Structure 1
Amino acid sequence: MKRLPTGLLPSIALEDSGPIYQQLADWFRRAIAEGRLRPGQRVPSTRALAGELGVSRLPVLSAYELLHAEGYLESFTGAGTCVAAAIPHEAPTRRLPRASTASATPAPRPVAARVAAMASPPQTWLKSQGAFRVGVPALDHFPHAVWSRLLSRHARHVGSEALIYGDTSGHAPLREAIVEYLATVRAVHADTDQLMITSGAQHGLQICAHALLDPGDRAWVEEPGYPGAHQALAAVGAVPVLVPVDADGMDVAAGVRRAPTARLAYVTPSHQFPLGATMSAARRIELLQWAARAGSWIVEDDYDSEYRYGGRPITALQGLDTDARVIYVGTFSKVLFPALRLGYLVVPKDLLPAFRAARDALDTCSPMLPQRALHDFIREGHFARHIRRMRMLYAARRAALQAAIRQHLPDTLHVVGAEAGMQLTARLAPGVDDIALSRRATQAGVSVRPLSPCYRGETRCSGVILGYGNVDEDAIDEGVRRLRGCL
């Protein structure tokens, strides 16, 4: 190939930070990729380039050696160093074509069509850390010193078995501790082998969708409901069937009318998200009977049942299941802290191979160090004590929020579903744009989650979801005052 003469190199600007050889190598790669340096074109000698840049020759030599190894440059006896001839003549360019020129249309950059169904509108309420951020527990009341000590204990004495890939189902002692806890508090029937540690509840829903659903399968979802359930279904190409929710929870009869042979039903029976209803006993039995009759599965999301203020937590739907049709989903994000990223699934025994395969394909296993620390946190009694303290704290904060609403917004916010959890939902008058209100509240330093995005059908109600877990009583009153100003 004919070698082109050395051209004048564009100015190379070196930064004060970062190795010089790396900056030079990056510059040559970009220049070659963008077509500013052509195949066969000679480049300056290392001595000449070092003199032009006013640097030592050593970093220039290192850059050229790296570019030779990567195939960007090649050398010829008596001809010096050139851009490699194997570089395509029509190198892809990162520069956008001018609108006034007749340049070729760029190649398409396709993504999966199902991603559109997984996307959610901008969540402006997440930009504020004040009242009333949904899903965040009382972080300042978490026993940080205890947790730090437990983590340090395992970090100091970590063995090789904690540094390699763990069991797909999770740390066995932790699974045993969780099974005992669920049997006592939630009446869940399972043995240790049936419990799988996940990276949170959303990850558990993704595993369920991958293990149980094929593209085109229909699945019942609550309307309104948890947006993350729709994302999990969209990820596998399943078709959501919107089933209305009333004061008794999911309307099973309506689900049967709309999709009697649906493969799966996703429900939050203990504390419906976002309206807060508890599924009645009649509806629970009706749902279980439908699943057994249709050969379908039920995914029970029990995301915050530990916090119920009218007595003991409601028995889990899984505990009533006599046909092994329920997959139980739980999480530690609400009872401990979200960044822990640990949750769990309770899976019927015959589904375990499918769930392990799905889990292994998604992310293999959860980190072992926090699993070991959490096992000690449960076994040493810290977990039970923390839940008891938080139940009293959240009850007081719930009462403070209800009182503030009665005082400042009695005719504007109509509270529903305040009997459990760490948030309550309040409906707004028809015609009030809850998304616009959420944006305005963010500017006022208040995190208000709009209700309407939880609906997927044509009929939508306007409202707000207010979390009170991580906000003290004074801040609750001030937050409601600010919300009143936004309205």
Structure 2
Amino acid sequence: MLSEFLLAEMNRLGTQDALPLHRQLYEALRRAMLDGKLGAGERLPSSRDLAEDLSLSRNTVVAAINQLSVEGYLASRVGSGTYVNDNVPRAAPSRGARSGGQPATLQAGRLSTRGVALSTTFCATELEVQPFTPGMVDFSAFPVALWQRLQNKHWRMTYPDMLDYNTSGGYAPLRRAVADYLRVFRSVHLEADQVVITSGTQQSLELCARLLADHGDTVWVEDPAYWGAVKAFMATG
């Protein structure tokens, strides 16, 4: 039964890693999908039913499900429910085997010293989602239907220039819109040529670190600080 597996997995995670409840449920549901206990296209119980079966608050369940939906593991269908995505990968077997039944011997890849530091320090699973964390939006309020209509409209148009590399810091109309917004609502005096479009805060910080600092330079940040900034500065030495 799904609830029994989730409870057992959450108990193990809570004992080993002391993760918050929503993160325990996230990891347990993710493991159920990767292990095939929740197959592609299978419908999840409602958040209310899961909360009741697992003796959790509904907010805890919704937070875990929303995170899995954002990462592409789950898909919500209006009026129908939440389903496991068709493209969720299966977990790889822990020990491979050659034809003939002989176990395959695979050498584990070795990370660099910097790679080890990045993978073991300031991990997102520990720091990304915490109570009262600013910037965590309510994804259920996103206008999905409107977004899809606009996306489909632009996919039908022809933009050959957008298929090539862009060397000017991002899509020009978007840069102009950002510059206009900053001038009007933030009283920042700038031109569109001074705007660079990135994929988010971490990429912006890493770009600044690479362009403005040398390896071994000291960077001062707040304490406590945004964990992504620490990661970006560590990654660039």
In the superposition, the TM-score normalised over structure 2's length comes to 0.49
Larger strand share, 1 or 2: 1
Larger helix share, 1 or 2: 2
Higher relative contact order (CA 8 A, sep 6+): 1
